[in-house]
Structures are given as C-alpha cells and as structure tokens.
Amino acid sequence: MNKIHAAITAVNGYVPDYVLTNHELETMVDTNDEWITTRTGIKERRILKGEGLGTSDMAVPAVNGLLKKRGIGADEIDLIIFCTSTPDRVFPATANILADKIGAKNAWGYDLQATCSGFLFGLATGSQFIESGKHKKVLVVGGDKMSSMIDYKDRATCIIFGDGCGAVLLEPNDEGNGIIDSVLKSDGAGLPFLHQKAGGSARPTSHETIDAREHYLYQEGQSVFKFAVTNMAEVAAEVMERNNLTANDIAWLVPHQANKRIIDATASRTGVSSDKVIINIERYGNTTNGTLPLCLWEWEDKFKKGDNLIIAAFGGGFTWGSIYLKWAY
C-alpha cells in the first residue's frame, strides 16, 4: 500500500472590506507612502471594522466557502486547528467558537499559537492526524485581527499589519501528493524583540498596563528583520536540499508576507525566480497567521496537480520553518 500523505484538498480565504491605504496612514502617523512602499512593499491592508467582531468572524466566511467548494458539510470535519495570535478571547479556544458558529458538531479542536509561523506549524501538526489514520478531514485555519493589538500611534508597526483569514482542508492522499517534509524551529531567546507586554498571566491587565500602552504589539523591527531574513531563507533552502530539489523543480515559493525585502532574500537564497514567488503583501500587509492560506487561496487557480510548493515562514518567538508539499488537485 502507498504511503498516506496529508494533502490540501480545498482552500478559501476572507479579507474584510475596509481598505487602510498608505495615504490614510499618512494622516494618522508621521509616515509616507514612499517610505512604506520601499521599506516593506505594502500599499494597503484590510481592517475588520464592527463592534464585537473577532478573528472567528473572518474564519466563518472563509470556512463556509471552503466547505461549499469541497461539497461537504461542517459535520464531516474531524478536527479544527485554529492558528491565531489574536484569538477572540484568551479562552475558550477560537477553534471551539468557530466550530459552534459553522455547526461542526463532530469536530474537536484547539488553538495553535506560533505567531507568523502558526499556519505552517498547523499544517505540520494537522498532517500527523491524517498520516496516522486517526482522522480523514482536518481543517487548518490561519487568521488574525491584527488591528486589535496594533498601536495606531506607532509608525514602526501600524504600517505593517492587517487583518485576514484563510483555511485549508487536509485529507488523505495515496498518490504521492500532499505534505512531504517539514523543517520546524523555535527559539525562545527571540522574546525581547517581538511580544505583547501585558495581558497574559505574567503581567495581567491592570489600569497601569493600559495607561502604559502595554497591550499593543511591541517590535524591535531591525532585530527581527535580521533574524527573519537569514532564517526564513535558510530553512527553505534546507527543506529543498534534503529532498534533492533545485530551483527548477519548484513550481511555487510561498513565503510569509512580512516584508518584501525578506521575501526577496528567501527567493534569492533558494534560487527560485521571481515569477514563481507568491506575493500579495502590497494588498494585505502582514496578516500574521493569515498570510500563507491567503496566498494559497489567491493562487489556487494557477496550481497544477503534482506542483512542488515550498512554504516558508518566520515569526515572533522566534518561530520559523518550511514545508515541502506536492499540490494534489
């Protein structure tokens, strides 16, 4: 019997309607379109507006659309892995909230927190349940409402992030397609450079933490940039080398969308030509857990069965990694 791989069999995405342009940001902080475009590649990002709406509210249309495309009901899903750094609430898990909203009555689920590498880690984790034979349908959702933790007075971070969500379905494949290999890494020494200072158990919310603006995302951009630019490229190259893949074998490079310059460095290190590199950062900015599924969603029509994809990510923590998969449809 052929080995069972976990293959993506459907993908869908959702971005909110509101477009926050560089020009609007110019009216909010001391910045300009030229600086943002040349330093990051971003032109605009989407923002989820509306009282009481959270990350799960972007996941609902993404997942409902996915189920429709695949022609299955929510009750057929076995497991939901919700990869997010902006859960609806600290608890319960957003996976549970989503399951309830879409009627996934037979699924269990959990949230996965690995910042910008979350969706990649979710794919790697979800695939284990398929390969082991435990489950037949695993939903991996990646999404963030980054606007909920961004300080729109901090020009170094508010220009980068946006809101969005995507989802994929993993199912068993015995034709040799699906997730073939992964290299996954974490290093807790990265904490000082990218974190949220308060709101967790170590520093619970108080008047003091709010007055000190400690609930916003804190980033030392240059330090993160240095780690990201080297590590995302290295790990993508590593997964290619150990699978004997050269740039010519790769149909698509799918990089996390944090900064166009980091994406270019990864493309350059792997040798993959720019026409095979998926980039939508100019329209969505960095949606954290949303970037990779949104890329897969927007390029789905261009993928062919058997295409070799290299997915790579780097995020706070630090966390980083790369997955080699063969597209299954």
User: Is-catalytic flag, 165?
Assistant: no
Q: Where are the strands (E) in the chain, listed by range?
A: 5-14, 18-21, 44-47, 79-83, 108-112, 138-145, 163-173, 178-186, 194-196, 217-219, 252-255, 308-315, 319-326
Q: Which of residues 4-23 bind ligand UT7 (CB under 6 A)?
A: none
Determine if 86 is a binding residue for ligand UT7 (CB under 6 A).
no
In whole angstroms, the minimum distance from the beta carbon of 210 to ligand UT7 comes to 24
Q: How far apart are CA 150 and CA 194, in angstroms?
A: 13
Does residue 17 come out as left (phi exceeding 0), alpha (psi in the -120 to 50 range) or beta?
alpha
Structure tokens at 95: 């996976």
Q: Smaller CB distance to ligand UT7: residue 160 or 311?
A: 160
Determine if 182 is a binding residue for ligand UT7 (CB under 6 A).
no
Determine if 39 is a binding residue for ligand UT7 (CB under 6 A).
yes
Q: How far apart are CA 282 and CA 36, in angstroms?
A: 10
Q: Kind of pairing, strands 194-196 and 217-219?
A: antiparallel
In whole angstroms, the minimum distance from the beta carbon of 175 to ligand UT7 comes to 34
Catalytic annotation, pick one of 12, 173, 231, 286: 286
User: Is-catalytic flag, 116?
Assistant: yes
Residues 59, 77, 97, 116: which binds ligand UT7 (CB under 6 A)? 116
Residues 19, 21, 26, 35: which binds ligand UT7 (CB under 6 A)? 35
Q: Smaller CB distance to ligand UT7: residue 227 or 303?
A: 227
Question: DSSP state, 290?
Answer: G
In whole angstroms, the minimum distance from the beta carbon of 267 to ligand UT7 comes to 15
Sheet of 5-14, strand order: 5-14, 163-173, 138-145, 79-83, 108-112
Determine if 27 is a binding residue for ligand UT7 (CB under 6 A).
no
Residues 21, 31, 186, 196: which binds ligand UT7 (CB under 6 A)? 31
SS3 of residue 284 by DSSP: helix
Determine if 221 is a binding residue for ligand UT7 (CB under 6 A).
yes
In whole angstroms, the minimum distance from the beta carbon of 159 to ligand UT7 comes to 4
Q: How far apart are CA 202 and CA 214, in angstroms?
A: 13
Residue 6's identity, in one-letter code, is A
* Total residue length of the chain: 329
Determine if 315 is a binding residue for ligand UT7 (CB under 6 A).
yes
User: Is-catalytic flag, 64?
Assistant: no
Q: Smaller CB distance to ligand UT7: residue 139 or 194?
A: 194
Catalytic annotation, pick one of 83, 256, 259, 308: 256
Question: DSSP state, 186?
Answer: E
Handedness of CA 279, 283, 285, 288 (dihedral sign): negative
Structure tokens at 15: 């971005």
Q: Are 110 and 51 in contact (CB under 8 A)?
A: no
Catalytic annotation, pick one of 12, 22, 116, 289: 116
Q: Which stretch binds ligand UT7 (CB under 6 A): 46-54, 82-90, 163-171, 219-227?
A: 219-227
Q: Which residue of the chain is nearest ligand UT7 when measured via CB? A: 221
Q: Smaller CB distance to ligand UT7: residue 86 or 259?
A: 259
Determine if 185 is a binding residue for ligand UT7 (CB under 6 A).
no
Catalytic residues, which ones? 116, 256, 286
Q: Which residues bind ligand UT7 (CB under 6 A)?
A: 31, 35-36, 39-40, 116, 155-156, 159-160, 221-222, 224-225, 228, 258-259, 262, 286, 315-316
